[in-house]
C-alpha cells in the first residue's frame, strides 16, 4: 500500500515524497515485516531541462537548446521591464490634445489646414483690434493643431504640445516629485486650468484640465 505527501526543501523548491509500506503476510499470522521506502523527487527548472547535455545526442541540438534558453530568459526580462515601465506611467493623462505651431503668415496657414488638409476650424481668438492671436484646427475629436502668429518672442516653428489631464493639481504634484520643472496650476480660459512644464531640450509642455464650457470642451462635444 502506498501513500504520498508533499514537503518543501530548504532551497525553496517543492519536493514530492512518496512513502511505500510493503507488508509480507503469512497465513494466519501478523505481518512478518514492514518495509518503508521513501523516494524523493524535485521538479527540475526549465533551464536545467534545456541544458542537460548528457541527454542530448548531438552538439547541434545542444546549441539549439542553449539558444532557446537564452530567448526564454530574454523574454522573461523584457516582461519585468515592461511591468516596471507601466508602474512608472503618468496617471490621469487623457491624451495629447494639441501641437502648437507659430506661423509667419497666419491667414495662409489657417487656409492651408482648413481648405487643403480638410481640418475643421474649431475656434479662433482675436484681440481688441480683431487680429487673430490663436486658432485651434480640429484634426479629430480630441486632437488639435494650435496656430499662433509669430512675434519677437515667438519664432516660426513648434512652440509646444499640450496634454489634457483629468486632475491638473494631482498631475503637477506627481511631476514635481519626479523632479520635473513645472509651474503652479493657474486659471486659463473659460472652464480650464493650465500649468507649463519644460523638457530637457527646452520644449514647453502645456498641461491643462478643461471642462465642457471651455473652447476645447465645446469643440470636442460638437464633433460629428
Please spell the DSSP secondary structure of 26-78, one letter per residue. Answer: -TTS--SEEEEEEEEE-PPPHHHHHT-GGG-SSHHHHHHHHHHHHHHHHHHHH
pLDDT at 87: 76
Classify domain 1-43 by CATH number.
2.10.70
What confidence category does residue 48 fall into, taking pLDDT thresholds of 50, 70 and 90?
Answer: low
Are 124 and 132 contacting, i.e. CB atoms less than 8 angstroms apart? yes
In CATH terms, the fold of domain 93-221 is 2,3-Dihydroxybiphenyl 1,2-Dioxygenase; domain 1 (3.10.180)
Q: Does the pLDDT value for residue 8 go beyond 50?
A: no
Identify whether the C-beta of residue 124 lies closer than 8 Å to the C-beta of residue 220: no
* Structure confidence at residue 189 (pLDDT): 87
Residues 119-177 pLDDT 10s:
999 999 999 999 999 999 999 999 999 999 999 999 999 999 999 999 999 999 999 99
Q: What is the pLDDT of residues 54-74, one digit of tens each?
A: 555 566 666 666 666 666 666
The cell for 172 is 503637477
Phi, psi of 60 (to 5 degrees): -60, -45
Are 208 and 162 in contact by the 8 Å Cβ rule? The answer is yes
Q: Which residue has the cell 518503508?
A: 36
Report whether pLDDT(33) > 50.
no
Kindly list the domain boundaries of the chain, sorted by start residue. 1-43, 47-89, 93-221
Digit-coded pLDDT (tens) for 13-29: 444 444 444 444 445 55
Radius of gyration of the chain (CA): 34
C-beta of residue 167 within 8 angstroms of C-beta of residue 92: yes
Query: Residues 78-118: pLDDT tens digits?
Result: 655 555 556 789 999 999 999 999 999 999 999 999 999 99
pLDDT at residue 194, rounded to an integer: 97
Amino acid at each position: 500500500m502506498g501513500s504520498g505527501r508533499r514537503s518543501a526543501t530548504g532551497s525553496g523548491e517543492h519536493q514530492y515524497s512518496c512513502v511505500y509500506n510493503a507488508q509480507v503476510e503469512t497465513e494466519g499470522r501478523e505481518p512478518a515485516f514492514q518495509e518503508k521506502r521513501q523516494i524523493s523527487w524535485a521538479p527540475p527548472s526549465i533551464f536545467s531541462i534545456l541544458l542537460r547535455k548528457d541527454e542530448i545526442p548531438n552538439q547541434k541540438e545542444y546549441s539549439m537548446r542553449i539558444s532557446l534558453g537564452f530567448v526564454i530568459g530574454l523574454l522573461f526580462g523584457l516582461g519585468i521591464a515592461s511591468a516596471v515601465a507601466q508602474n512608472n506611467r503618468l496617471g490621469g493623462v487623457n491624451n495629447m490634445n494639441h501641437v502648437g505651431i507659430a506661423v509667419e503668415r497666419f491667414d495662409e496657414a489657417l487656409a492651408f489646414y482648413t481648405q487643403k488638409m480638410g481640418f475643421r476650424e474649431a475656434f479662433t481668438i482675436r484681440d481688441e483690434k480683431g487680429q487673430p492671436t490663436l486658432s485651434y484646427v480640429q484634426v479629430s475629436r480630441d486632437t488639435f493643431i494650435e496656430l499662433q502668429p509669430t512675434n519677437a518672442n515667438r519664432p516660426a516653428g513648434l512652440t509646444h504640445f499640450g496634454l489634457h489631464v483629468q486632475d491638473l493639481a494631482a498631475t503637477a504634484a506627481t511631476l514635481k516629485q519626479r523632479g520635473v520643472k513645472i509651474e503652479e496650476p493657474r486659471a486659463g480660459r473659460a472652464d480650464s486650468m493650465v500649468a507649463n512644464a519644460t523638457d530637457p531640450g527646452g520644449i514647453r509642455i502645456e498641461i491643462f484640465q478643461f471642462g465642457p464650457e471651455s473652447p476645447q470642451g465645446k469643440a470636442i462635444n460638437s464633433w460629428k
